[in-house]
A and B are shown apart, each in its own frame.
Chain A
Amino acid sequence: MRQRSPHRTGWTLVLPLLVFTLVTFLAPIGFMLWKSVYDPEVAGLLGQTRQALAKWQTSTGLPGPEGFDALSRDLRDLTGDGRVSQLALRLNRERSGMRQLIEVTADAIAEYDRPLLEIDPRWGDPDTWVLLKRMTQPLTARYFLSAVDLQQTPQGSIVRQDESRRIYVYLFGRTILVASVVTAVCIILGYPFAYALATARPRMQRLLFFIVMLPFWTSLLVRTTAWIVLLQRRGVLNEILVAMNIVSERSRLELIYNLSGTLIVMTHVLLPFFVLPLYAVMKGIPKQYVRAGKSLGAGPVRVFLRIYLPMTLPGVLAGAALVFILSLGYYVTPALVGGRTGQLISNQIAFHVQTSLNWGLAAALGSILLVIVVVLTMLLSRVTQRGVL
């Protein structure tokens, strides 16, 4: 018997995990990326129209009669299949009123077979046809444009979304801001805590571990309810402050259902993700480094700044990166306690996946978030590699 090459054995060992990752992770991400630029729904419904409009230059006004004919034929076919409402709803998502136009037109064609222009004057508007031409192209940039508050005018130029409809750039900004603040607070609160954890006696250590792991062991709903009870305007904290005359009845603190609610609760939930990697790093630093520093003449402050802090930096970076990246994707907590001002980009993604069913836009927003995370991760790994160890 010939021996298996070690190379092949290696592959066999990682294959199950590879397949698992491929199926559960890479494939969905690939699907999402694809979905954000590929939308064949209208092209599939209006096959003939698509062909007929292929050669039409949008700058030349209305398309030729073959375009009108093709659309009539497509609508008649769809009426037969009962798929007019699907087309109507899909186009309506791009422009309000299209549902009504398509349904009226399809009904009229089915009954009298009249020319489109007689059925509704909107078919004389080149913009309607531009929309159809764009929508029948399966490959599209419109989701990515929407995701950064841009739109394409019927004339083809790319302009910013109307002031009253801009939202995503603003929310991306807020998301990054929130993630940064949460990360910063986690560092400030978590560093001393991790140190205490790493240096505590066993009994104290168990207690501290319990405290830091508590959010992991509590269900999301219980945790959130607890925060609401604690933080709301008539909650425990405010009652105490009012009773102690620190704040007045009129000026109770708004700690929840706004940005501060999102910040407080996210910090609480994500703190373990910062503390645990840092704790692991701190635990791995032998006492003798600090001793060496002292013996070489460094006082406590300088030992900390010059030796302990730099040596724990990989843990700080790892923990901070974890918290930051998780923050970028948080949406359940902001949805529950964030109120209006505490909503993040992920809430919009969830909205488009679950409620508006605009999966293309959700995919585009998700892809942008993914790119931000990947870029940050790469930057971070470069810093860690160059920096320490």
Chain B
Amino acid sequence: MSISRLARATGLCVLGLGIPSSFAAESLTIASFGGQYTASQRQAHYEPFSKETGVDIKSVDYNGGLAELVAQVRSGSVSWDVVDVEMQDLDRGCADGLFEKVDIDALPAGADKRAAKDDFLDGALQPCGVGSVVWSNVIAVNEPAFQDAKPQTIEDFFDVERFPGKRGLPKRPNALLEWALMADGVAPGDVYATLSSEEGVDRAFRKLDTIKDQAVFWETGAQMIQLLVDGEVAMSTAYNGRVQGAISDEGKPLRILWDRQIWNADYYAVVKGTHAKKEADAFVRYATGTVPLAAQTGFIAYGPVRRSAEALINPAKAANLPTAKANFRHALAFNSKWWTDHGEAISERYASWLAR
């Protein structure tokens, strides 16, 4: 501790081209969502970073939400240095002062020399976090559950008469209400406007009522995959990367229904009050560089947030990404601002609906 302070104070850390050559702290702790997703981060981001800098990375799993971070930051004993967060949590955590601010100008340019500002997709650069992957909420179909007609659209997911079988639903309403409206005939462009009215929310819940009896609820991505693989549900709302992993790595008979996918992004954010801010910043800059982002698509089917990374992706893998043209036709962008405004009330109502 005292040595590391001394080192910092005397400026012994030498930084070259954004990649530091020596560090005071020996390790970083990074919290992410676990399972195959964290595995992809470990292989594409953590390990190469450790190799280059000598900084060990400890990986911690969490389930989203800000509770642990609030506890760490408020108590002053910060044990996580970097967190992988979803947009909504990033916004809120930023407002609550849980994250350090990002220095956008310090981010490296793309592999094609494009400046970072122009290289990242819109919305991928936030005041408190740097985007890493585009992932998508999709419907996963358990193929053996349907012998004759196969479900193809979001309407089919909500049609338990033509496509009988249990439905896996998330314990949080995010994305689900959007699907309910779209399955009820609302155009993707009108979804959030409709949801903003009380009648629109009622309409979404009425649609959910039609599959309530068949619903099985999951909390984590791992549970969701387990339900599908065990045949406990015929279809489930899902994260595309996890499902793709089960299909291509484990050969599970699952299929992704890209119709009306609702895409979202994950961000790396540096926790306020970390003892290794310099190392954490260096990690974020490294991991969101063109090459590591492109490399990550080799381990999980999430799209890179840098345009310059697309050129580096294996074409066979590219077809499974949410950002592939064929998949992206009826995509809806998840509106995290809308959820920040309405999430509280909707969650309450969803919890009430769920409980009864």
A residues near B (Cβ < 8 Å) are: 85-86, 88-89, 92-93, 96-97, 99-100, 164-167, 170-171, 174, 228, 232-235, 257, 335, 339-340, 343, 348, 351, 353-358
Contact = CB atoms under 8 A, between A and B. Distances in A.
15 contacts: A89-B95, A89-B96, A97-B341, A99-B340, A164-B205, A165-B349, A167-B352, A170-B356, A174-B355, A257-B216, A257-B217, A339-B217, A340-B216, A343-B355, A355-B64
Interface string B89-108: 00010111100000000000
Given A86-B97, A167-B352, 15 more contacts: A89-B92, A92-B341, A93-B344, A96-B344, A99-B341, A165-B349, A165-B352, A167-B355, A167-B356, A257-B216, A257-B232, A340-B355, A348-B351, A354-B65, A355-B172
B348 interface: yes
Contacts of B345: 96
Nearest to B231: A234
B219 A335 contact: yes
B232 A233 contact: yes
Instruction: Indicate the member of B64, B205, B341 with the most A CB atoms within 10 Å.
Output: B341
Contacts of B27: none
Grouping DSSP codes into helix (H, G, I), strand (E, B) and loop, the A interface class, with mixed when no group exceeds half, is helix
Among B95, B349, B354, the most chain A Cβ lie within 10 Å of the Cβ of B95
Contacts of A353: 67
A356 B94 contact: no
Residue from A97, A166, A354 whose CB has the most chain B CB atoms within 10 Å: A354
A146 to B, nearest CB: 9
Contacts of B355: 167, 170-171, 174, 340, 343, 348
Contact of B230 (A92, A170, A234): A234
Contacts of A170: 355-356
Nearest to A257: B216
Contact of B352 (A88, A166, A233): A166
Contacts, number: 84
Contact of A85 (B95, B230, B232): B95
Given A166-B352, A234-B230, A92 B216 contact: no
B57 interface: no
B24 interface: no
B354 A340 contact: yes
B210 to A, nearest CB: 15
A96 B341 contact: yes
Interface string B180-223: 00000000000000000000001001000000100111010000
Nearest to A95: B345
B341 A100 contact: yes
Contacts of B205: 164
A165 B348 contact: yes
Nearest to A100: B341
B5 interface: no
Interface in B209-268: 212, 215-217, 219, 226, 230-232
5 interchain residue pairs of minimum CB distance = A85-B95, A354-B67, A167-B352, A355-B65, A96-B345
Nearest to A167: B352
A234 B234 CA distance: 12
A62 B10 CA distance: 60
A232 B232 contact: yes
B342 interface: yes
A343 B217 CA distance: 11
Contact of B217 (A96, A97, A340, A348): A340
A92 B217 contact: no
B162 to A, nearest CB: 17
Contacts of B212: 340
Contacts of A233: 166, 231-232
Contacts of A339: 216-217
Contacts of B65: 354-355, 357
Nearest to B353: A164
A209 B181 CA distance: 55
Given A234-B231, A354-B65, A92 B356 contact: no
A261 B346 CA distance: 27
Given A170-B355, A340-B215, A340-B217, A86 B344 contact: no
B347 interface: yes
Interface string B315-356: 000000000000000000000000011101101110111111
Contact of A351 (B215, B231, B340, B351): B351
Contacts of B125: none
Contacts of B94: 85
B73 interface: no
A355 B220 CA distance: 13
A355 B67 contact: yes
A89 B64 CA distance: 18
Contacts of A100: 341
A228 B205 CA distance: 29
B70 A357 contact: yes
Interface string B55-88: 0000000001111101000000000000000000
A339 B215 CA distance: 9
A257 B67 CA distance: 25
The residue in A92, A93, A348, A355 that gathers the most chain B C-beta atoms within 10 A of its C-beta is A355
Nearest to B68: A354
B343 to A, nearest CB: 9
Nearest to B344: A93
A93 B347 CA distance: 11
Contacts of B348: 165, 167
A150 to B, nearest CB: 14
Contacts of B349: 164-165
Contacts of B356: 167, 170
Contacts of B215: 340
Nearest to A350: B67
Given A234-B231, A339-B217, A355-B67, A92 B340 contact: yes
A340 B208 CA distance: 14
B230 A232 contact: yes
Given A85-B95, A96-B342, A357 B66 contact: yes
